Amino acid sequence: MISKWKQKFSKFRTQLAIRKICKENEKNNTNALQKNESLENDKIENGEQERLEWSKKIDFLLSIIGFAVDLSNVWRFPYLCYKNGGGVFLIPYTIMLVFGALPLFFLELSVGQFTKCGPITMWNKLCPPMKGIGYCCVLISWYVSFYYNVIIAWTTYYIFKSLTSGDLMPWQHCDNDYNTDNCFSVSQMQAIQCQTNTSHHKNNGVKSSGKVVWFTATAPYFILTILLIRGLFLPGAGEGILYYINPRLEKLLEPSVWVDAAVQVFYSIGVGFGVHLTYASFNKFNNNCYRDCLITACVNSLTSFYSGFVIFTYLGYMANSMNKEIQNVASEGYGLMGGLEAVITGLMDEFRFKKLKREYFTAIVISTSFLGALVNCTQGGGYTMVWFDTYSAGISLLCSAMFEALAVVYFYGSDRFSGDIQSMLGYPPSRYWVLSWKYISPIFLMCVIVLSIINSERLSYYNYDYPIWSAVLGWAFTLSSVSAVPIYALIWWIRKVNAKRNVNSNCVDLKEISERTAITKSNNSPVYV
């Protein structure tokens, strides 16, 4: 009988022990899940979640080269040489590259690779009040997309018609069905196609972009070479090349030449858009971004110089055909840049749309860009193109780059940033880079911005002078992106003050309670709090 009760008691104790162990395991699992969830939320907030990486190092290099080497090299650089004294323009261009754009280009690649975040979220790690710089970059890239793909649409249309229209091109006469006062240009369909192509290869992020750039970054060099060979056999090509390489040194005394060189360097390299920063965020931590920076800058500059020979062979031919001087053949040029990857990745990293896939969000961004581009597909689209080109990414781009340099070097700390680079590359940046980040590049940018504002003239396109209200609207358009920096800093400061005020009020309440409790104890009478 006693042994039977002992067995029951032993069995009962065993069950209690099992229940206790189960409860402890359940409690530990719950705590672990809560801890993991908290860590995951912290990672999401700071942009440290698992991130896609480039399949190969060459994919990243071709991507930043493909972004840096674009229509601004083929179109705008030769135009600026043509406008500012031919080969002498290379002197201010090289100086501005070495002391202005190149240090900031290296800074962008380093920050993006170290933080592994988009252009907005990265400021959570560097300097939270300066997160407005990220919004500024995103807005600039978005604004440029309103007109950049329209230029690509023009080229698509010209290529298609050149191959299908025979000897008579449709732009050689005014008998087309769409040549009426109330019609829209047929370039709308090409704009849709360009936006669709952009959406297709942006959906899958860097995995898709890394494959696309193998063609988009290399094909232009084959095309430029073919065009150069063909142009060299045209009458007047030699005169065009001589005009290109013949320096007119007196142009160096004009401030506008230096301003044009500075703006072109930033247009060409692509600093300030946040695109290079975004691409670098998909790198491995120890990738040699210093080497990538130098290679990209050299390829970009050589491409610009090479494109000048191509363009000026045809300018010489046009001047010969029209019996004009070369300097009177063309009179306008666009500055072109584009990159929606900064917009898409920046917003996706910052807001973490849990119920919205990247494909759908990409489609939304592309659709808004397409709607904004429609105004440039009208018969007056050439005039709106010049307006967008002037006010979307001119001074605002320089301001964006300057704010980046000041925030990283002075708020985050140049010594701290140099240590971050050393942890990635194995060696610290040289004194040239540090001095450029701290003094040379910011001062250089401030001077260029001031000169740009002082030398700004009333906008015109051929013989048309834009009305005053368009200039007012244009400066408001420029400030809409730049103002994101002080506005966000002000919002952050107000939140900080309110949070501190709430903490202080809570401390006062606790102090009052403790004092009243002490009085109660001394008087031996109850006090209700």
Instruction: State yes or no: 66 annotated in a binding site.
Output: yes
- 150: enclosing H helix or E strand: helix 132-164
Q: How far, in Å, CA of 295 to CA of 109, rounded?
A: 13
Q: Strand, helix or coil at 460?
A: strand
The DSSP result for 358-409, as a single string, is: HHHHHHHHHHHHHHHHGGGGSTTHHHHHHHHHHHSSSHHHHHHHHHHHHIII
Instruction: State yes or no: 73 annotated in a binding site.
Output: yes
Q: How far, in Å, CA of 43 to CA of 111, rounded?
A: 18
The DSSP result for 36-67, as a single string, is: HHHHHHHHHHHT-S-----SSHHHHHHHHHHH
CA proximity to 467, closest of 390, 391, 387: 387
Q: How far, in Å, CA of 334 to CA of 45, rounded?
A: 39
Checking phi first, is residue 126 left (phi over 0); if not, alpha (psi -120 to 50) or beta?
Answer: alpha
Quickly tell me which residue has 């978005």 as its tokens.
Answer: 142
Q: Strand, helix or coil at 465?
A: strand
Instruction: State yes or no: 182 annotated in a binding site.
Output: no
Instruction: State yes or no: 320 annotated in a binding site.
Output: no
Quickly tell me which residue has 């397409």 as its tokens.
Answer: 370
Q: How far, in Å, CA of 67 to CA of 217, rounded?
A: 8
Instruction: State yes or no: 68 annotated in a binding site.
Output: yes
Q: How far, in Å, CA of 441 to CA of 449, rounded?
A: 12
Instruction: State yes or no: 268 annotated in a binding site.
Output: yes
CA proximity to 333, closest of 260, 415, 240, 229: 260
Could you tell me which residues are annotated as the binding site for Na(+)?
66, 68-69, 73, 268, 300
Could you list the residues known to form a binding site, using ranges.
66, 68-69, 73, 268, 300
